[in-house]
Structure formats: structure tokens, C-alpha cells
Structure 1
Amino acid sequence: MGTIVRSAGREDIPAILAIYNDAVLNTTAIWNETPSDLAGRTAWFEERVAAGFPVLVAEEDGAVLGYATYGPFRPHEGYRHTAELSIYVRADTRGRGIGKALMGALVSTATERGVHVLVGGIEAGNEGSVRLHAAFGFEMGAVLPQVGAKFGRWLDLLFMYRVLSDEPPKPPRGR
């Protein structure tokens, strides 16, 4: 049986939590230094779903191997057509195409839902993530040097982006 990408349910939150906390504790993919707990990840999940954002999981043989989502790029109305994505893969399954499966599904979902631009904020030294984004047509946007710190070193933030549609936005109602 191959990898299945599907919408996450509440039953997937413990697996999502484990993947998230591993990234917090062992990688520079997430710049948080404090692990989350089940209540925190549950609140995060419920907020995402209530706001209409997808939370996807990649599963093989009933085991969640990774998750992906997108959410607001910035809180201001002018950015409402842009979303920032996140993809995390369980440490023991990296390099097996799980990230590619999640990215493909996430790009498709964002396109179907009318997202104009997807943005990835990546630790500039994360070559695997840079390659994954590039393989899906993301372009280099900007590098912000030393804007983060973790594990006793400065981190550079690389923004990569992909324009999903050339369709211009409809003006807000009443304008």
C-alpha cells in the first residue's frame, strides 16, 4: 500500500504533535524552542479548521508520516490572497517522497481554493526543503539574514514563493 494524503482528523493530532515536537527539539525547520502539548496542538488544529485552512496528513498502513497546512501569510487584508505553507515529515521517513506527496496535495488544494500565491519560509540552510519547493516551481524571493536563532547560532530566513493563478482578485464587496 502506498502513501495516502488525506484531510487530517482529530484522531491524527497525537501523531501531528509528535512530528511537530521532534522538529522543535531536533531541527531548525521550526524556530520554536518549547515543545507543544496535546491541548496546544488540538487548539492549533481547531483554529486551522475553523478558519477554513487545510490540514493534510500523509499516511501509510495507518501510520501518519507527515503533515502539511497553510495559513495566513500576514494578518492584514491586503495579504488575503497569499498563504504561508508548512510541511513536516516524521524523522525516520524523510527522503522517501512523503514531502513531495504532501506538497503536491497542498498546492492542488490551495489552487482549488483560490489562493493566489503560496509562500514558504525556510531556514536558508535547509537544502532538502529548498529542493522540495524548487521541484514544485517555487522561486527564490528573499533572504533575511540572522533574523532567527536556535541551537546557539543565527538563522537566515529564505522566502520562496509560487504564483498559483494569474486571475486578478475580485474587489471586496461595496468597493
Structure 2
Amino acid sequence: MIIRHATAADAAGIAAIYNDAVRHTTAVLVDTEVDAQNRADWMAGRQAQGYPVLVAVDGAEVIAYASYGDFRPSEGYRGTVENSIYVAPAARGQGLAPRLLGDLIAHARAIGKHVMVAVITAENDISIRLHARAGFVGTAILREVGQKFGRWHDVAFMELRLDDRPSP
């Protein structure tokens, strides 16, 4: 198993992992599945901004992926990014998510980002623990702001300060 930057050839594997999360989890509050072209376009957009899309591969199979992008689109938030990590069901519990998150944090620091944010459905204890172990702190719970599977979902916000600059 290796972790590397994703290429367009990884788009179908990324789509399969994402679609599993759409169908079976509240990790993403989306009901619509995507195809490989959608993920290729998404990946190209991230990479054009200088943001990473990382994949963990076992042979030729994508078993996890991670990325970050702008937290909000306005320039006042340009120092802040939001991460996302998805692991294929068969690959969970192998330590991929902490490795991917560590690589994302290192990349964000290297390009001068100030804060990394995680927005997690509050019932997702695994993701909350993952981020807490990486140094993220909980900052807010927004009550019933999301919906999926016929119920409301609270959303937790966590943040990691990436540097100690007193001003931008």
C-alpha cells in the first residue's frame, strides 16, 4: 500500500468510495452519486488551486482518498482550508485515515495555510476521534442543520491551527 497524489486514472476508484459513503453513511450529507468524470473534474479543480488529492492504493486499487479545499470562497478565508477523508469499507481500520490526514496537514503547512477545519456529522465518533488525535479541537456544534436518511443531523466543527503567525 502506498499513498501518492491522485491522477485522472484514479477517478473511478475515488467515485466508488465516495458513492459508498453517499449510499451508506452520513459522512457526506449528499444523496446523489457521482461518476468518474465528476470526480476527475473535482480533482482537476482542486489541483489547479494547488491543493492535494491524495490516494492510498493497494496495487492498482484506490482504497482511500483525501483532500482539502477552500473553507469558504471569499478572500477573507484564504488562509483556511477544509479537509475530507474517505476510506473504502474493506480498508477501514488499517490506519490509512491518520496517515492521509497527517499528509494533508503537512501539505497545508508547507503552502502557508493558517487553519484547517473539519466539518463532521456529530454522530461520526470515528472521524471526531481521528481529528482530535491529530490535534484538532472542537469549536461548535450546529444543531439539526443537515438532513439525510429521513432525519436531522447535528454538525460538529473542529479546527487545527497550522502556524503561530500573529497576523496574515
TM beyond 0.5: yes
Unaligned runs of 5+ in 1: 171-175
TM-score for the superposition, normalised by structure 1? 0.92
Paired residues of 2:83 and 2:118 also in contact (CA < 8 A): yes
What's 1:63 paired with?
A: 61
Once superposed, which parts of structure 1, at least 4 consecutive aligned residues long, lie more than 6 Å away?
none
What's 1:113 paired with?
A: 111
What does the per-residue CA deviation read over 1:18-43, in whole Å, with 9 as the maximum and x for residues that have no partner? 00111011100011101011221121
Question: 1:56 Cα deviation (Å)?
Answer: 0.5
Give the alignment partner of residue 34 of structure 1, picking from 21, 32, 35: 32
What does the per-residue CA deviation read over 1:78-121, in whole Å, with 9 as the maximum and x for residues that have no partner? 11000000000001111110111111111111111111000000
Give the alignment partner of residue 104 of structure 1, picking from 102, 106, 121: 102
Question: 1:58 Cα deviation (Å)?
Answer: 1.1
What's 1:164 paired with?
A: 162
What's 2:2 paired with?
A: 4
What does the per-residue CA deviation read over 1:143-168, in whole Å, with 9 as the maximum and x for residues that have no partner? 00000000011001100100010124
Unaligned runs of 5+ in 2: none
Q: What secondary structure, in the 3-state scheme, does the structure 1 residue paired with 2:156 have? A: strand
State the alpha-carbon separation in 2 of the partners of residues 168 and 111 from structure 1: 15
What's 1:155 paired with?
A: 153
State the AA in 1 paired with 2:32.
T
Structure (1 or 2) with the larger CA radius of gyration:
1
State the alpha-carbon separation in 2 of the partners of residues 115 and 69 from structure 1: 14
Paired residues of 2:11 and 2:37 also in contact (CA < 8 A): no
User: What is the root-mean-square deviation of aligned Cα atoms in Å?
Assistant: 1.1
Paired residues of 1:5 and 1:105 also in contact (CA < 8 A): no
What's 1:75 paired with?
A: 73
Paired residues of 1:7 and 1:55 also in contact (CA < 8 A): yes
Paired residues of 1:58 and 1:101 also in contact (CA < 8 A): no
State the alpha-carbon separation in 2 of the partners of residues 153 and 168 from structure 1: 42
Question: 1:52 Cα deviation (Å)?
Answer: 1.4
State the alpha-carbon separation in 1 of the partners of residues 37 and 85 from structure 2: 21
State the AA in 1 paired with 2:145.
V
Question: 1:60 Cα deviation (Å)?
Answer: 2.4
State the AA in 2 paired with 1:87.
I
What's 2:142 paired with?
A: 144
Give the alignment partner of residue 123 of structure 1, picking from 99, 103, 121: 121
State the AA in 1 paired with 2:138.
M
Percent same amino acid among aligned pairs? Answer: 48
TM-score for the superposition, normalised by structure 2? 0.96
